[in-house]
A = this chain, B = another copy of it.
Amino acid sequence: MSTIKIIAKKAGVSPTTVANVLHGNFSKVSPATREKVQGIIQEEKYAPNMGAIILAHSNSRIIGVIMFMEPRRDETVLEDPFSSAILGAMEREIRDNGYFVMLHTTSDENEVLRLSKAWKLDGLVLVWVPGDICRVISSSIDTPLVYIDCYFTDNKHIYHNIGLQDQRGGYEITRYLLSMGHTSIAFLANNPLFSGGDPARFNGCQEAFREQGLSLAKDRYIPLPKGRHEREILYSQLADEGSPYTALVFSADYYAAEAILFLQGTGIDVPSQVSVTGFDDNIFSRMIRPRLTTVHQDSSEKGRLAISMLMKLIRKEPVGEANVQLPIHLEIRDSVRRIPVS
Would A79 and B75 count as touching, CB distance under 8 A? no
- Say yes or no: is A117 at the interface (Cβ < 8 Å to chain B): yes
Known: A50-B51, A52-B51, A101-B103. A85 touches B81 (CB 8 A): no
- Taking the closest CB of chain B, its distance from the CB of A193, in whole angstroms, is 20
Tell me which residues across on chain B come within 8 A of A283, comparing CB atoms.
284
In the complex, what distance in Å separates the CA atom of A114 from the CA atom of B257? 44
Would B95 and A84 count as touching, CB distance under 8 A? no
- Taking the closest CB of chain B, its distance from the CB of A341, in whole angstroms, is 32
- Taking the closest CB of chain B, its distance from the CB of A35, in whole angstroms, is 22
Q: Which of B51, B79, B261 has a CB less than 8 Å from the CB of A53? A: B51
- Say yes or no: is A13 at the interface (Cβ < 8 Å to chain B): no
| Interfacial residues of chain A within 104-142, with CB under 8 A of chain B in the complex | 104-105, 113-114, 117-120
Q: Is the interface of A mostly helix, strand, loop or mixed?
A: helix
- Taking the closest CB of chain B, its distance from the CB of A162, in whole angstroms, is 18
| Interfacial residues of chain A within 39-69, with CB under 8 A of chain B in the complex | 45, 47-55, 58, 60, 62, 65
Tell me which residues across on chain B come within 8 A of A83, comparing CB atoms.
84
Known: A84-B78, A287-B284, A287-B288. A47 touches B118 (CB 8 A): yes
Known: A47-B118, A48-B118. A78 touches B91 (CB 8 A): yes
Tell me which residues across on chain B come within 8 A of A210, comparing CB atoms.
none
Q: Which of B50, B81, B104, B288 has a CB less than 8 Å from the CB of A100? A: B104
Known: A88-B76, A100-B104. A119 touches B50 (CB 8 A): yes
Tell me which residues across on chain B come within 8 A of A47, comparing CB atoms.
113-114, 117-118
| Closest residue of B by beta carbon distance from A67 | B91
- Say yes or no: is A102 at the interface (Cβ < 8 Å to chain B): yes
- Say yes or no: is A336 at the interface (Cβ < 8 Å to chain B): no
Would B78 and A105 count as touching, CB distance under 8 A? no
- Taking the closest CB of chain B, its distance from the CB of A107, in whole angstroms, is 12
| Closest residue of B by beta carbon distance from A101 | B103
- Say yes or no: is A10 at the interface (Cβ < 8 Å to chain B): no
Smallest CB-CB A-B distances: 4 pairs: A51-B54, A76-B88, A78-B88, A84-B84
